[in-house]
Amino acid sequence: MFGSQTDRRATSLELFGRDAADERGPGHPIIAGKQGVERVVDEGRHEYLVDGLKGDRIDSVAGHGLRQGGQTLTTAGRSAHGRTISLAVIMQKGAPFRASGGPFLHDHEGLGAGGIRLAALMTSASQEARELAVTDEVVESFAGAESARYREVMQSLVRHLHDFVRDVRLTDEEWHEAVGFLTRTGHMCDDRRQEFVLLSDVLGLSMLTVAVNEVVDPAATQSTVFGPFFVENSPEIPLGGDLAAGAAGQPCWVEGTVRGVGGEPVAGARIDVWEADGDGLYDVQYDGARTANRGHLFTDASGCFRFWSVRPVAYPIPSDGPVGRLLAAAGRGAMRPAHIHFMIRAAGYHKLTTHVFVAGDEYLSQDAVFGVKEQLVAEFADHPATEAPPPGGSEGSVWSSLSYDFVLASDAAAG
Ligand SMILES: [Fe+2]
């Protein structure tokens, strides 16, 4: 077997798996210390071939003597018997080791039923040492930073960025393309357009940061993305006032309470509200300096709030810039399910930045920025023109309403 392959070297691979008839569960070594075969395909490209897998299912493969411990790659294929093969390769952290694409090849001549071939891309030891030396030098350059937090963040950023470059074997052309992309993203930004926030949103970086900083209090309302459309110094709206300010859309009455996790009403909480209009556009997306569908108000002594706005609709995030092209290249949609943005601040409580989504929206399961949480989905009721609206509403036209209560975690919980 492997008759045409050169530079064949035995390498020790430990295989842990489960025979179909073995009821002892995964992890039971069916073949331990089995010899595999490494061959050099070309410069920097090695293959590891393992044969004689007699079990029906392989749960992991640990490669020893290839690199030592750390990074784990997993993939799956099907055995010659049609059964699933799961495979994990444990490699040195940062070592550029990549499983070949597609299902693993099996049924090689001489391998026997259930054999696996793993193709890996690996740099030579000297090349790897050169690359790691660059990283070490840059990490060290931040060692003298006055701020310990700055040092920690920058050194970690450098390590991860360098790992990324090694992982994908970034080409010069791709580096230039990345610089061009970020430059175009920056040029797209001004005080009314925030393409970098949008980029963070579509990469899930925003939601991950939300998750990292989420106050773990199951009684509190959950957070979601801040988004690119918040504007400082929105107008103050009286309780029961209309923040739509002439924006297109079906009138929508919004009311609710702000309470602490103990159920106590939070009086005087500042609620910032912003949303797209009935055409799916925020005021800042129109020419001119119009302010509409945004404002702030304060809860009354009972923690209650109420205002008029418009019923939100699903809308596409701006797709005329580099982020739009990024989504298109990925074949991803740009739609966000209908929602209203809220930011609620009150002394003694953790600031809440969140949305309320419209139940039944077709895009709830495919939000372009990954912001939907089940708790934040609420029923928006529709009312006929014959039903009298709350004070401030227009008689004789259809209207919607939302009732939603927010619960703030205390600052103590946030700490
Ligand atoms: Fe939004």
Q: What is the CATH number of the domain that holds 234?
A: 2.60.130.10
Which position has the token pair 């399961």?
365
CA of 36 to the centre of ligand 1 (A): 54
Asked, for residue 129, whether it belongs to a domain, the answer is no
pLDDT at 340: 98
pLDDT at 180: 97
CA of 230 to the centre of ligand 1 (A): 9
Same domain, 85 and 159: no
Tens-digit pLDDT profile for residues 207-258: 999 889 887 788 999 999 998 899 888 999 999 999 998 899 999 999 999 9
pLDDT greater than 80 at residue 11? no
Range with top average pLDDT, 5-9, 38-42, 348-352: 348-352
Calculate the CA dihedral of residues 371, 372, 373, 376 and round it to 10 degrees. Answer: 110
Tens-digit pLDDT profile for residues 147-194: 999 999 999 999 999 989 987 888 999 999 999 999 999 999 987 789
pLDDT at 110: 29
Q: How far is CA 225 from the centre of its chain?
A: 11
Tens-digit pLDDT profile for residues 112-146: 333 333 433 334 556 778 889 999 999 999 999 99
Task: Please say which residue of 122, 156, 172 terminates a domain.
Answer: 122
Find the mean pLDDT for residues 326-347.
96
- What are residue 46's DSSP bridge partners? 40, 120
Identify the sign of the CA torsion 16, 17, 19, 22: positive
Asked, for residue 60, whether it belongs to a domain, the answer is yes
Same domain, 215 and 96: no
pLDDT greater than 70 at residue 404? yes
Same domain, 181 and 83: no
Task: Please say which residue of 122, 153, 173 terminates a domain.
Answer: 122
pLDDT greater than 80 at residue 62? no
CA of 83 to the centre of ligand 1 (A): 46
Same domain, 148 and 252: no
Asked, for residue 373, whether it belongs to a domain, the answer is yes
Asked, for residue 134, whether it belongs to a domain, the answer is no
Asked, for residue 127, whether it belongs to a domain, the answer is no
Return the amino acid letter for 374: E
Query: Is residue 65 very low, low, confident or very high in pLDDT (cuts 50, 70, 90)?
Result: very low
CA of 355 to the centre of ligand 1 (A): 8
Same domain, 304 and 168: no
CA of 281 to the centre of ligand 1 (A): 9
pLDDT at 78: 39
Asked, for residue 333, whether it belongs to a domain, the answer is yes
Hey, how many other C-beta atoms are within 10 angstroms of the C-beta on 311?
Answer: 22
Same domain, 347 and 274: yes
CA-nearest of 290, 300, 291 to 259 is: 300
CA of 224 to the centre of ligand 1 (A): 11
CA of 406 to the centre of ligand 1 (A): 18
Phi/psi at 209 (nearest 5 deg)? -65, -40
Query: Is residue 298 very low, low, confident or very high in pLDDT (cuts 50, 70, 90)?
Result: very high
pLDDT greater than 70 at residue 286? yes
Same domain, 385 and 272: yes
Q: Which has more pLDDT, 112 or 355?
A: 355
Hey, how many other C-beta atoms are within 10 angstroms of the C-beta on 308?
Answer: 23
Asked, for residue 128, whether it belongs to a domain, the answer is no
Q: Distance (Å, rounded) from C-alpha 360 to C-alpha 357?
A: 9
pLDDT at 126: 66
Same domain, 182 and 305: no
Phi/psi at 198 (nearest 5 deg)? -60, -40
Q: How far is CA 214 from the centre of its chain?
A: 14
Tens-digit pLDDT profile for residues 185-205: 999 998 778 999 999 999 999
Range with top average pLDDT, 50-54, 282-286, 298-302: 298-302
CA of 263 to the centre of ligand 1 (A): 29
CA of 275 to the centre of ligand 1 (A): 6
Find the mean pLDDT for residues 341-364.
97
Query: Mean pLDDT score of the chain, rounded to an integer?
Result: 76
Q: Which has more pLDDT, 87 or 274?
A: 274
Q: Distance (Å, rounded) from C-alpha 219 to C-alpha 208?
A: 21
Q: Which has more pLDDT, 311 or 100?
A: 311
Same domain, 207 and 320: yes
Listed range (95-104, 117-126, 270-279) with the worst mean pLDDT: 95-104
CA-nearest of 181, 293, 300, 196 to 239 is: 300
Reading the block at residue 193, the tokens are 């357009």
Asked, for residue 133, whether it belongs to a domain, the answer is no
CA of 18 to the centre of ligand 1 (A): 49
Name the domain count of the chain. Answer: 3
Say how many CA atoms lie within 13 Å of 305 toward its Cβ.
33
Domain residues for the domain of 39 are: 5-122
CA of 375 to the centre of ligand 1 (A): 17
Residues above pLDDT 90, as percent of the chain: 55
pLDDT at 341: 98
pLDDT greater than 50 at residue 338? yes
CA-nearest of 78, 79, 90 to 48 is: 90
Q: Distance (Å, rounded) from C-alpha 406 to C-alpha 173?
A: 49
Contacts of 189 (CB under 8 A, 6+ apart): 195, 196
Same domain, 56 and 151: no
Number of helices (H) and strands (E), helices first, in the chain? 7, 19
Which position has the token pair 């175009």?
184
Same domain, 388 and 262: yes
> If 0-12 CB within 10 Å is exposed, 13-18 middle and 19+ buried, where does residue 14 land?
middle
Same domain, 203 and 221: yes
Q: Which has more pLDDT, 166 or 27?
A: 166
